[in-house]
Structure 1
């Protein structure tokens, strides 16, 4: 009953019976112990503020679907206080008119409760219209804003529009800006002056071509717009490793170093060393395919164990085609290796095939080159391939 008693003390005496009777009747207040809001019982708020608080709590529960605890915390922590439903009702109506479900509205309010005090026409609708103007569909807009309601909190003229303008200056067309936004909506919340601009300027200074910069921004915006000091550190490391800024792999390596801590990277290098890769081999593999360092230790161990110990390919051969490490062991590596082993046993392909020649091609090319091509010699080959894929 402690939570109920705390709430009771929030209400002005003359309103307690009316408010509490209404709230109990509608099932809003449940007798629970909310230690995190125990301090409410000691509130020294003025009667007017108490009335606003009690009204806001009941509104958040009744109209927005928040739990009692969430409603109290929102009202107290975020100072969501109001006596009239007019402004919050207009906010909820805007969401409903734009296709948001009750559950999505509740999620938005729970994360950003102060949104209920916004002017829907002046502050919320223009942000929705900005996103629509760059091609965000209604369904995408609802999903993105429900998961990232702080976009509503960000200033339209000082943050959202400058971020959009900067991305447009780098990517040139709205389609690419849209891809970036959908991949990372928070890219519109970045500090354009202190992160976006200096990071891109550094890449340009080093000679990275527009296509390479676009690849980084569109596919990995979280890394592209990370804190500038961290970005500079990663760039310097990549340069010291001998990467060419003119090549795409340069920004891919930057991305890997930004995602991995130094101890984690060292552990990957040590793991590859245990499989026979020298330091030079590991560096060469990293320069060919930086993502080989992002695979988990379990994935690397299982893949290397299968290829080296079960299939018998030299570890050095794999180092020359490190991208195979990222391929699915069950769905791609094992089934294709079974097919190649059968062909080798029958003398139809060379025994010293490099792993990249049959593991890296697309499914269509692999089937054409290693399955359909030998259908007369090994009629059952396709069935073996499909069965091994299924078993894996």
Structure 2
């Protein structure tokens, strides 16, 4: 009550002096909320419009946000329409938290006519073959879809992304990570044409987008700048590595690129031109952090016995997982040597580089009777994702 009296006094002083009241932002958060609530009071009483309390108690909005949104509902005399909108969202599979998040993004959703506005959008999404749960997730993950025209925006965007990504599963995956539906179809098609023009083969276009959809969510200017960075690294357009180079540089800023370059150059002693040659042969090592690259170089040189020049010649080594491939394989080979098992004269770097199938057959399964601990040192879960990562 003290805060409410203080808020009323601040507004009253402003009225006496015929000056506009200070902006709410100049007060404390608590006082600001009460001032906003007072400004949206009815003329016949000091009580705020019923929608202020509705937005706070039913929809979970903070008081200040509820007060700002409440004027949109001034014409309502009952919560019947907001109740119907909320009930519809819940009936279509949105959780209470998801429905609240949708309303928080745009409280005006509560004014939507269920039959004329909301229901057609859900029917349209289901018509694409998405399940009830998937349709609910589309709107929960991207609330602006509830304000899109069904045939002008919503369906064309979803159809294009389903075509590019190839499945509803990938659509859900990327919707959870980025606002995939924010760009119109025309903008997306222009960026796809630009990628073709920059040298991404048609056969690899969809696969490239599946790995990083944000590649075509950029503005044309940013996409041109990205292509210029790849060109500056000397990656030939149309080459097998060009799309990977685009993805790698799209994922790192100029500062991060320099940090990773410096980590590799310090560890291997290579020149900048040699580093760029490494990048052209294996762009994917740039997906690793500078610290991880430093540790990989250190392990390859110090433990595996690979000379620094060997890493420069074969940068794919930097893409191999340190924790799931390099370290476990070296431990397994160490265990065999400790038991006196003759494994031939294979260099350790070649053992690390060998395919997963060949390594398991040649060293784990072949010698598991002589060294049972091999199955613990190199368990099956290491064999599933040892080609890249940490």
TM range (shorter): 0.7 to 0.9
Take 2:373 and 2:37, find their aligned partners in 1: how far apart are those partners? 78
Shift of 1:388: 12
Give the one of 296, 303, 316 matched to 2:296.
303
Report if aligned partners of 2:241, 2:282 keep a CA contact under 8 Å in 1: yes
Aligned to 2:360: 367
Aligned to 1:58: 53
Aligned to 1:191: 184
Give the one of 148, 152, 156 matched to 1:154.
148
Take 2:264 and 2:45, find their aligned partners in 1: how far apart are those partners? 64
- Partner of 1:100, secondary structure, is coil
Take 2:353 and 2:44, find their aligned partners in 1: how far apart are those partners? 72
Report if aligned partners of 2:7, 2:31 keep a CA contact under 8 Å in 1: no
Give the one of 263, 266, 285 matched to 2:258.
266
Runs of 4+ in 1 over 6 A off after TM superposition: 6-9, 48-51
Report if aligned partners of 1:234, 1:254 keep a CA contact under 8 Å in 2: yes
Query: What do you get for the CA RMSD once the two structures are aligned?
Result: 3.5
Give the one of 171, 175, 179 matched to 1:181.
171
Report if aligned partners of 2:263, 2:290 keep a CA contact under 8 Å in 1: yes
- Measured against aligned partners, the alpha-carbon deviations of 1:248-304 in whole angstroms (never above 9, x if no partner) come to 532221122222221221121111110123323322322233231231122222222
Asked if 1:127 is matched to 2:121, the reply is yes
- Measured against aligned partners, the alpha-carbon deviations of 1:192-251 in whole angstroms (never above 9, x if no partner) come to 32x312211122234533331101222211122211111011113323433344345322
Aligned to 2:202: 210
Shift of 1:97: 1.3
TM-score by length of 2: 0.78
Q: 1:124 to 1:279 in 2, by over 3 A?
A: same
Report if aligned partners of 2:241, 2:280 keep a CA contact under 8 Å in 1: yes
Give the one of 115, 129, 139 matched to 2:133.
139
Aligned to 1:235: 227
Report if aligned partners of 1:127, 1:152 keep a CA contact under 8 Å in 2: yes
Give the one of 82, 86, 92 matched to 1:88.
82
Report if aligned partners of 1:159, 1:191 keep a CA contact under 8 Å in 2: yes
- Partner of 1:187, secondary structure, is coil
Shift of 1:337: 1.5
Q: 1:290 to 1:123 in 2, by over 3 A?
A: farther
Give the one of 278, 281, 295 matched to 1:288.
281
Asked if 1:34 is matched to 2:30, the reply is yes
Take 2:29 and 2:227, find their aligned partners in 1: how far apart are those partners? 52
Q: 1:344 to 1:86 in 2, by over 3 A?
A: same
Q: How many residues align?
A: 358
Q: Which runs of 5+ in 2 are unaligned?
A: 10-27, 383-389
Aligned to 2:20: none
Aligned to 2:305: 312
Give the one of 325, 328, 332 matched to 1:335.
328
Report if aligned partners of 2:36, 2:68 keep a CA contact under 8 Å in 1: no
Report if aligned partners of 2:264, 2:297 keep a CA contact under 8 Å in 1: no
- Measured against aligned partners, the alpha-carbon deviations of 1:352-390 in whole angstroms (never above 9, x if no partner) come to 2435x535634x55322321123355454334434998x
TM-score by length of 1: 0.77
Q: 1:119 to 1:388 in 2, by over 3 A?
A: closer
Take 1:344 and 1:285, find their aligned partners in 2: how far apart are those partners? 33
Q: 1:383 to 1:293 in 2, by over 3 A?
A: closer
- Partner of 2:215, secondary structure, is helix
